[in-house]
Chains A and B, each alone.
Chain A
Amino acid sequence: MNASLRSLLRSWLVHGFLGLMAFLSVAPFAWMVVGATNASIDITSGKLSFGSAFVDNISRLAELYSLPLIFWNSTKIALIGSVVTLAVTSLAGYGFEMFASRTRERVYVVVLLSMMVPFAALMIPLFALMANLDLLDTHAAVILPTLASAYLIFYFRQSSKAFPAELREAAMLDGLREWEIFLFIYVPVMRSTYAAAFIITFMSAWNGFLWPLIALQSPELKTITLVISSLGSAYTPDFGLIMVAVVLATVPMLLIFFLMQRQFVRGLLGSVK
């Protein structure tokens, strides 16, 4: 009797705790949606109900920025960046794993070590490099430094260990060349690894802030993240506009999350097993 009472109490406690935490996790999303329908003054005074300012907010935001263009900029940078990154890093991860040699192992260690240096140390030289290449204030400048992610090379190499060696041997007996094995066998077999990696790269490009902030100046090149930031750094920020922009930036990520939840979590967990 006593024991069952105690376990009931504990069950309530656990459900109550997790319920509260879940509420706190979701509440800011509700706040964001409600905020998008309110005027700035109502948002900063904590109004909790839907207002009627949504159309006004979005049309004033559209006056400041061409929203389709901003959206296109973000999508273009994230898509091109992700596809090229996946191609380059999966080739390298596969190459380092399948064609191991002593020299390449040393090179691999250097690649991993390059991950240790924080981005803050790279941003000034990168800025100077882009200026020399005459690429400043272009999307290429934003995309190029993100392409060869050492982390993803590591991720693909770890994942390649699970690629069955018999498949490769069978393909060789069939007379397939190395690049054919990679393209027609490895890529299709590892598609869930690619899906997870795609989500990581797409999300980090979509959300990228510090480097695009430095590399881009023209308003017509800005991404949605930069738009939120420049709206926020105004002397008197208009939170109505900011909330609309935050909703616009968040909805695509939420869609990806709900459509590909498993790959999403797998991507975050990386190759930690």
Chain B
Amino acid sequence: MASVTARARTLNINGWAFVVPALALIAAFAIYPILTSIWMALHAGQGAEATFVGFGNFVRLWSDPMFYQALTNTFIFLLVQVPIMIGLALVMASCLNMPSLRWRGLLRTALFLPCVTSLVAYSVLFRSMFSYDGIANAVLLQLGIVSEPVPWLTDPYWAKVVVMIALTWRWTGYNMIFYLAAMQNADKSIYEASRVDGISSFDRMVFITIPMLKPVILFTTVTSTIGTLQLFDEVMSITQGGPADGTLTLSLYIYNLSFKFMPDFGYAAAVSYVIAGLVAVLAAVQFLATRERTR
């Protein structure tokens, strides 16, 4: 009996020994900063001159046009780009999964290749392609799709389009890989039965593939949503938030508030908790949806 408790104690000591290095690092570089940023969000001013303002920083958000601009831009990216990308990735995955497909490996590798690039590197690449007399305009003019060059980076509307094209290029293959893996794990007999029954490929997509992939689609949608809410590298490197704040995102606004404008850490922290709140709400949605599925 005594040896059992001794063994349990050894197990417990071992249990802590294995996790303590990670916990110490998380406490120092995640938990402590999180607590500090909550404190900051509730204060105005810095250092010794900081005064407690409660939710004052959050109240200030209501009348800040630049915050609204950043929030609107972020949601435009979210609501336009994420559905296009997810849809495209689904179509690409189901095409790649067709049994009669040739050059499958080659096509898959090519479609996946953009995932290898760093966010800053591909953003700068896209910036060069979408310059006023750059390659994108040259091709469009040549094909007769446009009659005069598109002001890609100098017009707030088109600058958003460039950012969305770039995001779609970089991330569609990434999402596709998730769907492809899920499709290959799925029961092949379902597909074969539907083919024998003469169901059209569109119906197969809507009534079999999408319901079957629901958990994966949900996962990728939430990941993409969180990624878009934190969008920074691309807009910083392609447009620096311009023109006329047309591509300013919440994360870029926080960066500007902290390191570009007169440092206003408390207010910046408040904006960051708006992102945190949005992330939490969306994570809760995912949690509820997943629970419904397993019930």
Contacts and interface: CB of A to CB of B under 8 A. Distances in A.
Interface of A: 10-11, 14-15, 17-19, 21-26, 28-29, 31-32, 35, 43-46, 48, 87-89, 91-92, 94-96, 98-101, 104, 107, 110-111, 114, 116-129, 144-145, 147-148, 150, 153, 178-179, 182, 206-207, 209-210, 214, 225, 228-229, 231-233, 239, 242-243, 246, 249-250, 253-254, 257, 261, 265, 268-269, 272-273
Residue with the highest number of chain B CB atoms closer than 10 Å, among A32, A46, A122, A261: A46
A243 B128 CA distance: 9
B18 A232 contact: no
Nearest to A99: B15
A107 B18 CA distance: 13
B34 to A, nearest CB: 5
A114 B134 contact: no
B119 A209 contact: yes
A46 B138 contact: yes
Interface of B: 11-12, 14-19, 21-23, 25-26, 28-34, 36-37, 40, 88, 91-92, 95-96, 98, 100-102, 106-107, 109-122, 124-129, 131-139, 169, 173-174, 177-178, 181, 185, 201, 216, 219, 226, 229-230, 232-233, 236-237, 240, 250-251, 254-255, 258-259, 265, 268-269, 271-273, 275-276, 279-280, 283
Contact of A125 (B15, B23, B33): B33
Top-8 shortest CB links A-B = A95-B18, A99-B15, A148-B25, A207-B118, A92-B22, A121-B272, A125-B33, A22-B110
By DSSP majority rule, is chain A's interface helix, strand, loop, or mixed? helix
Contacts of B127: 232
20 contacts: A11-B100, A14-B101, A15-B102, A22-B111, A28-B114, A28-B129, A46-B136, A87-B21, A117-B276, A118-B272, A120-B232, A125-B36, A145-B29, A148-B30, A209-B120, A210-B251, A233-B240, A249-B118, A249-B120, A268-B177
B89 to A, nearest CB: 10
Contacts of A44: 128, 131-134
A229 B31 CA distance: 30
Given A18-B95, A116-B280, A253 B116 contact: yes
